[in-house]
Amino acid sequence: METAIVLGAASADELSARIGFFDLGMSSITALELKVRLERRFGCALPNTLAFEYPTPEALSRYLAAEALDLPGPAGEEPDHDVQESEDDELLARFDEEMAAVDSLIQAPARQGTPRGEGRSR
């Protein structure tokens, strides 16, 4: 539910459990928003890298059930915390792109030498 809200979907039914968050339109900012919403909902601390470490709704729900909420999994099933290296590289590249975009937005007013909002005509 929280994922659907963050991604602007009408319901969680619109999201595939196996498609990556970033393929569904999540950004680094919405990833942090999801983390905060889940912390509030479940009353537990979660890592800032949550959506990067568990990049699909399916992986995230398994993590939340097994680790954060300490719920028992299916009998004999080991938690799967491994993510393929290529997926890790792709996620890190997307994160770097998002952070570069944020940095450029922050640096733009400083490069122009004017405080935000000054000098803009309406």
**pLDDT digit string, tens, across residues 57-105:** 899 988 888 877 777 665 445 545 554 455 556 666 676 677 666 667 7
- In this structure, are residues 22 and 94 in contact, taking their beta carbons and an 8 Å threshold? yes
pTM: 0.55
Is the four-CA dihedral 53, 59, 61, 62 of positive or negative sign?
A: negative
Query: What sections of the chain are H helices per DSSP?
Result: 2-7, 28-42, 50-53, 57-63, 85-112
Q: What is the Cα 66 distance to its own chain's centre?
A: 19
> Domain locations in the chain?
2-112
Q: Does 1.10.1200.10 match the CATH number of domain 2-112?
A: yes
Distance CA 119, CA 122 (A): 10
